[in-house]
């Protein structure tokens, strides 16, 4: 069975199709083995020679990543990655909303929870350091989240829905459809993004990216609160309580972290959370 009842139809469709493709069957195992040896070499070298950023790391990461999105990613993979970049800040804005929250500080494009996440072209990705900026969203949520304020505003939050991600420009996907050789699916694209960060990032940036899962724990806790009166939603959410993601630790090892975690836990969880908050009432209805 390639479909799972606790994730959205969209994600089920993407993964069901991907598992039949050549790159998932033959290339993915090779990339995983290569990455195991790559990080075993890279991290000791970074610890000695590249502990702090020299200033060019974010540009190289996004320049390489945007090349892959333009020429290598299949359209469904590029769409999934772009959806994630745009959905995640909308989820964080949603759980941070309150009547008394001060106006957020101005954010750079593609950076900060309250930033501008229109992606009009491939060049915008590298120009505004999208990848590193995206990883930092997790830390910003942890810094800004206030448990009591969330509980005080819970009724207000239950009565609202996250903003529609389609209001953001997705024109970058037109470049992918026009230029891509349609070689790699979502799994391999995410693996390559992790490898790119490992190769080009300084030690601090790379470890920061590998540890950007604390926000998932907060988001899951918020969803359990929002859907306290909906048993069916609680059942679905229980499938995202994996020990490695939420309950066991908040610091992934640079040597033993699972690169698949970014796709199958983090990206999928955000898709499920967004679909749930947009389409499922907080309190279950009979019938």
Lowest mean pLDDT among 63-77, 166-180, 237-251: 237-251
The pLDDT, as a whole number, for residue 243 is 58
pLDDT digits (tens, 9 = 90+) for 20-75: 999 999 999 999 999 989 988 998 999 899 999 999 999 999 999 999 999 999 99
Q: What is the mean pLDDT of residues 70-86?
A: 97
pLDDT, position 261: 79
pLDDT score recorded for residue 246: 44
Average pLDDT, the chain: 90
- Specify the pLDDT at position 214: 83
- Can you give the pLDDT at residue 242? 60
Q: Which of 136, 140, 90 is nearest to 116 (CA)?
A: 90
> Does pLDDT of 216 surpass 80?
yes
pLDDT greater than 50 at residue 247 = no
pLDDT at 9: 94
- Determine the pLDDT at residue 207: 86
pLDDT at 133 over 80: yes
Q: What percent of the chain has pLDDT over 70?
A: 90
Tokens representing 168 are 């953001």
Q: Is the pLDDT of residue 240 over 50?
A: yes
Confidence of residue 245 (pLDDT cuts 50, 70, 90): very low
pLDDT at 287 over 60: no
- At residue 286, does pLDDT exceed 60? no
Domain extents in the chain: 9-277
pLDDT of 1 higher than 60: no
How confident is the model at residue 107, as a pLDDT?
72
Q: Which residue has the higher pLDDT, 2 or 164?
A: 164
- Under the banding of pLDDT at 50, 70 and 90, the label for residue 108 is confident
Choice between 207 and 62, residue whose per-residue pLDDT is larger: 62
Lowest mean pLDDT among 122-131, 183-192, 210-219: 210-219
């Amino acid at each position: 069975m390639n479909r799972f009842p606790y994730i959205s139809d969209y994600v089920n469709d993407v993964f069901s199709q991907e598992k039949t493709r050549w790159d998932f069957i033959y290339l993915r195992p090779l990339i995983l083995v290569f990455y195991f040896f790559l990080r075993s070499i890279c991290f000791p070298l970074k610890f000695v020679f590249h502990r702090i950023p020299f200033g060019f790391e974010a540009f190289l990461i996004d320049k390489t990543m945007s090349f892959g999105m333009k020429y290598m990613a299949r359209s469904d993979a590029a769409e999934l990655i772009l959806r994630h970049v745009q959905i995640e800040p909308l989820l964080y804005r949603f759980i941070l909303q309150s009547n008394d929250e001060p106006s957020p500080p101005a954010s750079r494009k593609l950076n900060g929870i309250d930033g501008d996440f229109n992606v009009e072209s491939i060049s915008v990705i590298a120009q505004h350091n999208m990848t590193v900026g995206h990883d930092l969203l997790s830390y910003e949520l942890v810094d800004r989240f206030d448990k009591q304020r969330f509980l005080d505003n819970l009724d207000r939050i239950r009565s609202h829905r996250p903003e529609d991600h389609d209001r953001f420009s997705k024109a970058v996907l037109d470049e992918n459809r026009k230029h891509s050789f349609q070689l790699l699916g979502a799994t391999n694209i995410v693996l390559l993004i992790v490898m790119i960060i490992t190769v080009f990032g300084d030690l601090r940036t790379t470890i920061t990216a590998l540890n950007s899962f604390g926000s998932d724990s907060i988001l899951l806790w918020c969803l359990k609160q929002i859907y306290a009166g909906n048993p069916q939603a609680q059942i679905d959410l229980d499938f995202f309580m994996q020990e490695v993601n939420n309950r066991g630790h908040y610091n992934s090892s640079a040597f033993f972290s699972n690169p698949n975690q970014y796709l199958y836990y983090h990206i999928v969880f955000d898709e499920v959370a967004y679909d749930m908050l947009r389409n499922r009432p907080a309190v279950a209805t009979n019938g």
